[in-house]
């Protein structure tokens, strides 16, 4: 598996598990979970600095940007305009042109507003960003995003934080056939088998946050996810047997008494 690297826009990634950094108890737990997951890409949000409590620690004190690829998101943005503003602020605060583009359509489901997403993606690609869009499991939107110039697409498995697992494996399969860029299944994974399944279907990577951070033991779950993504990838590359209705004997009949 050493040569099985994920390449997006000329950048190589060692890990096919990407993780978010939200919802942890504290920065130390965040750091331990990320280490246990083996992820080399971590997503972060961009927010106002707390200027009244200057003693507050910085996330980047715990997650070394030299060791990890920091992938800023535009979480919490409900319009294309806001998402573009946050993407530009993220670029100004960081060191790269990478952005995980989110334009949220609805507070209850956190489903993407795909019209706003396409609009924001167009602006940001033109502006030189490497846009990784969080999108619905809609093959047509995925194709449009690639046409605009997104070097990967990130369709959801289920609503963010829901833990429902892959709701529409058939759509994911169609997306994988439709677009020729890496597919990163993002959001909705609940447990290790969901992540393994995503990889077995042929996803190039899986991104998750809540499934790890919200587990009773986040560090153990992070490790479970590492193995699940690895196992799913291996199984995908190995090529599974076809499903059959009836049995096929594994032991030969020949030589029986």
Partner 1 sequence: MTIRIRVPYDERMSNGIRIEVNGEPRGFTGETVSDLLHELSLTTDRVAVELNLEILDRQEFARRRLQQGDRVEILSFIGGGAPRCRNHEEGGSYA
Min CB(30)–partner 1 separation in Å: 6
User: Dmax of the chain from CA atoms?
Assistant: 85
Q: State the nearest-atom distance from the C-beta of 172 to partner 1, in Å.
A: 19
Residue 202: left if φ>0, alpha if ψ -120 to 50, beta else—which one? Answer: left
Of 24 and 129, CB closest to partner 1:
24
Neighbours of 4 (CB within 10 A): 11
Give Cβ neighbours of residue 244 (< 8 Å, ≥ 6 apart).
none
CB of 66 to partner 1, least distance (A): 13
DSSP 162-219: -----S-HHHHHHHHHH--S-BEEES---SHHHHHHHHHHT-SEEEESHHHHTSSSHH
Pick 104 or 166: Cβ nearer partner 1: 104
The one catalytic residue among 100, 180, 226, 244: 100
Structural tokens at position 79: 């319009």
Question: Is 100 assigned a catalytic role?
Answer: yes
- For partner 1, the closer of residues 45 and 181 by Cβ is 45
Of the two residues 89 and 235, which places its CB atom closer to partner 1 in the complex?
89
Site residues (vs partner 1, CB under 8 A): 19-24, 27, 30, 43-49, 51-52, 54, 58-60, 70, 72-73, 75-76, 88-94, 102, 104, 107-110, 159-162, 164, 187, 208-210, 213
Active site members: 100
């Amino acid at each position: 598996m050493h040569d099985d690297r994920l390449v997006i826009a000329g950048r190589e990634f060692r890990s096919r598990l990407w993780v978010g950094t939200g919802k942890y108890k504290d920065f130390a737990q965040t750091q331990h979970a990320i280490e246990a997951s083996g992820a080399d890409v971590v997503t972060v949000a961009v927010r106002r600095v707390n200027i009244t409590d200057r003693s507050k620690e910085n996330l980047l004190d715990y997650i070394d940007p030299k060791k990890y690829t920091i992938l800023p998101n535009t979480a919490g943005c409900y319009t294309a305009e806001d998402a573009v503003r946050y993407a530009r602020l993220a670029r100004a605060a960081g060191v790269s042109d990478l952005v995980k583009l989110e334009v949220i359509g609805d507070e209850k489901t956190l489903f993407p507003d795909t019209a706003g997403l396409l609009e924001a993606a167009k602006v940001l690609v033109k502006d030189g960003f490497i846009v990784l869009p969080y999108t619905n499991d809609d093959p047509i939107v995925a194709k449009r995003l690639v046409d605009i110039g997104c070097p990967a697409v990130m369709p959801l498995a289920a609503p963010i934080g829901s833990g429902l697992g892959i709701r529409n494996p058939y759509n994911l399969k169609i997306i994988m056939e439709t677009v020729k860029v890496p597919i990163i299944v993002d959001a909705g994974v609940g447990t290790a088998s969901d992540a393994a399944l995503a990889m077995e279907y042929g996803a190039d990577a899986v991104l998750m946050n809540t499934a790890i951070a919200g587990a009773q033991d986040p560090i153990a779950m992070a490790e479970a996810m590492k193995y699940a993504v690895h196992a799913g990838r291996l199984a995908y590359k190995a090529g599974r047997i076809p499903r059959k209705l009836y049995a096929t004997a594994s032991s030969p009949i020949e030589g029986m008494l």
